[in-house]
Amino acid sequence: MENICIGVVLTVSPSNSSTASQKKSSPSGKKKVILVTYRDEFMKNEAVGLVEAAGYAISSIIDQRKLNHSQYGVGSGKAEEIKMLAGDLGTQMIIVDDRLSSSQAHNLAKFTHQEVIDRERLILDIFNSRATTTEAKLQVKLAELKYEIPRAREAVRVSLKGEQAGFMGMGEYAVDIKFRALKKQMSLITKKLEEAKKRRDLFRISRERINLPIVSLAGYTSSGKTTLFNKLTSESKEESAKLFTTLTTTTRSFEPIRGKKVLLSDTVGFISRLPTYMIEAFKSTLEELTYADLILLLLDASETFEAVSIKYSSCRKTLDQLHINPAKILVVINKLDIAQREDEEKRRELVSDLPSIGISSKTGEGLRKLKVRIADTLYPESASSKIERPGSELEPSGEEAEKMLVEPAETTANSDPMVERIDMSSRGS
Ligand SMILES: Nc1nc2c(ncn2[C@@H]2O[C@H](COP(=O)(O)OP(=O)(O)OP(=O)(O)O)[C@@H](O)[C@H]2O)c(=O)[nH]1
Ligand SMILES: [Mg+2]
């Protein structure tokens, strides 16, 4: 997962804007962008999904074999082509589907007169728009700072060498102050996140007091985790084809089989080519997975076998990074109602090292079997000993148990003045 990029920092604004007469937004009011991605179908599709999730309208897609040319990321001939295209289409932004250095982004923005962002900035934008709880907001801010600081350093270095106009138009003294402020924000956020982690730990301990087994949903973004969660717990959390719909963990209890109660957690989805610092920033959320007794790893069977295969290995890698014991994983092949039936055999082969089960969270196909599987795995003892896991004498009453399930992080970010005070607006400034 960490095998890739780390994008550009200072999101760079164009030095002057292109023809004022052209419409900068699509009929739907969305910002018009040019997406520069790879020729690989999987990467291209994923990039399109990310851009759409961020709420931009793609005016044109340019695919390239390489995006690591030193001056602009793309080659100079391609940069020229993009500049013309941007003028013709009246776009506002170029999104490059990889990591760009600060100077690459700056050069491309200056040359094309477009705002330029890279893949990581795009993901951060999506996270930003999705984060609703204090903890999620703080996690995103931390990831943003980790993204910004090294790039700001690079921008200063280049600026001092006289190769690039001053860092955000600032003098050296102002730059120094800005850096100190960024660092201070980072340590404040880290402290806040540690406090949130403590609250999360307390919450976990209270869950342990309930002494119910924990089932966690894991899987690539959009694999259907929340749809399954809602189906099993009768909840109504947001489900959407957009990537990264869920950013915070929700836990609810349900009975897969009468009398055999378990806790079910829905959490943030995975994506490939995510840099380590982003995983780090979301660590406490992802760590929830490490406490699960059973992990349902969802795969989206409606996708091509190539996509299923890439996503599966990406998820396994992430679970490995979190030191999850594979013996706890049950692979759930979801969306059977719209599955690529001809790939069934290959899919089974792909996941053959782990137990697996096929379902449709939408139609309910296979859900009974899944529930029995969950109950059998978590309550292997005979039916008569159902709820009596070790220490169950501590088990609180049903009502008390439900109270303990109120997430610690479910406050809105607005209730935390700290989040409001954070200013990351180097973008476009
Ligand atoms: N046809 C069909 N669609 C499904 C099924 N399960 C989920 N979906 C759709 O897939 C899309 C993604 O579902 P979500 O439940 O939001 O996916 P998620 O894994 O929670 O995604 P993130 O929160 O982004 O990580 C939604 O449009 C769902 O309606 C299924 O079994 N069949
Ligand atoms: Mg979700």
For 177-210, the pLDDT digits (tens) are 878 888 899 999 999 999 988 988 888 888 778 8
Q: Is the pLDDT of residue 306 over 60?
A: yes
- What values do phi and psi take at 54, rounded to 5? -80, -10
Identify which ligand lies nearest to the alpha carbon of 223: 1
Average model confidence (pLDDT) across the chain: 82
Nearest CA residue ID for atom 27, ligand 1? 241
Inter-CA distances, 185 with 10, 178, 191, 224, 242, Å:
17, 11, 10, 35, 30
Band of residue 220 on the pLDDT scale cut at 50, 70, 90: very high
Neighbours of ion ligand 2 (CB under 5 A): 225-226, 245-246
Report the candidate in 175, 138, 145 with the shortest Cα–Cα distance to residue 9. 145
Q: Which ligand ends up closest to the CA of 228?
A: 1
Distance 333 CA to ligand 2 centre (A): 16
Between the alpha carbon of residue 190 and those of residues 176, 213, 232, the distances in Å are 21, 30, 35
Q: Is the pLDDT of residue 7 over 90?
A: no
Residue nearest to atom 8 of ligand 1 (CA): 224
Span from the CA of 240 to the centroid of ligand 1 (angstroms): 6
Q: Going by DSSP bridges, is the β-strand pair 294-300/57-64 parallel, antiparallel, or unpaired? A: unpaired
The end-to-end CA distance of the chain, in Å, is 31
Q: What is the amino acid identity at position 184?
A: K
Nearest 5 degrees, angle CA 311-CA 316-CA 318?
95
What are the Cα distances from residue 165, in Å, to 55, 168, 215?
31, 8, 53
CB-based contact 334:360 (threshold 8 Å): yes
Using pLDDT thresholds of 50, 70 and 90, give the confidence band for residue 396: very low
Q: Atom 21 (ligand 1): residue with closest C-alpha? A: 222
Contacts for 324 with CB less than 8 Å, ≥ 6 apart:
289, 290, 295
Residue 94 has pLDDT above 80, yes or no: yes
Give dist(CA 153, CA 138) in Å, integer. 22
Q: Judging by DSSP bridges, how do beta strands 32-38 and 57-64 pair with one another?
A: parallel
* Average of per-residue pLDDT across 26-35: 89
Distance of CA 121 to the CA centre of its chain: 12
Mean predicted confidence (pLDDT) in 272-282: 83
Range from 19-33, 106-120, 193-207 carrying the lowest mean pLDDT: 19-33
More confident residue, 88 or 134: 88
pLDDT digits (tens, 9 = 90+) for 255-269: 999 999 999 999 899
Q: What's the angle, vertex CA 312, arms to CA 309 and CA 314, rounded to 5?
A: 110
**Residue of 239, 256, 244 lying closest to 293 (CA atoms):** 256
Residue whose Cα lies nearest atom 11 of ligand 1: it is 241
Residue 245 has pLDDT above 50, yes or no: yes
Please state whether beta strands 115-118 and 57-64 pair in parallel, antiparallel, or not at all (unpaired).
unpaired
Backbone angles phi, psi at 53, to 5 degrees: -65, -30
Q: Which of 127, 242, 268, 361 best tests ligand 1's pocket when mutated (most atoms within 8 Å of CB)?
A: 361
What confidence category does residue 308 fall into, taking pLDDT thresholds of 50, 70 and 90?
very high
What was the pLDDT predicted at 266? 95
Task: List pLDDT tens digits, range 150-167.
Answer: 888 877 777 766 655 555
Q: Indicate the range of 216-225, 306-315, 411-420 predicted with least confidence.
A: 411-420
Does the pLDDT at position 410 exceed 90? no
Q: How far is CA 279 from CA 13, 20, 94, 190, 209, in A?
A: 28, 41, 26, 14, 29
Cβ–Cβ < 8 Å for 322, 357: no
pLDDT at 351: 97
Identify the CA nearest to 344 among candidates 301, 300, 307: 301
309-363 pLDDT per residue, tens: 999 999 999 999 889 999 999 999 999 999 999 999 999 999 999 999 999 999 9
Of 334, 330, 343, nearest in space to 366 by CA: 334
- Range of weakest confidence among 113-117, 170-174, 266-270: 170-174
Within 6 A (CB) of ligand 1 lie 219, 221-227, 239-241, 243-246, 269, 334-335, 337-338, 360-362
Sign of CA dihedral 351, 353, 359, 362: negative
Residue type, 360: S
Quickly state the pLDDT bin for 420 (edges 50, 70, 90).
very low
Confidence (pLDDT) at 164: 54
Give the atom of ligand 1 at the shortest distance from the alpha carbon of 219: 19
Res. 406: pLDDT tops 50: no
Band of the pLDDT at 175, cuts 50, 70, 90?
confident
Ligand 1 atom with least separation from CA of 227: 15
Q: Which atom of ligand 1 is nearest to the CA of 244?
A: 24
Listed residue (370, 342, 348, 351) closest to 312, CA to CA: 351
User: Which residue out of 232, 240, 265, 338 has the highest number of ligand 1 atoms within 8 Å of its CB and is therefore the one to mutate?
Assistant: 240
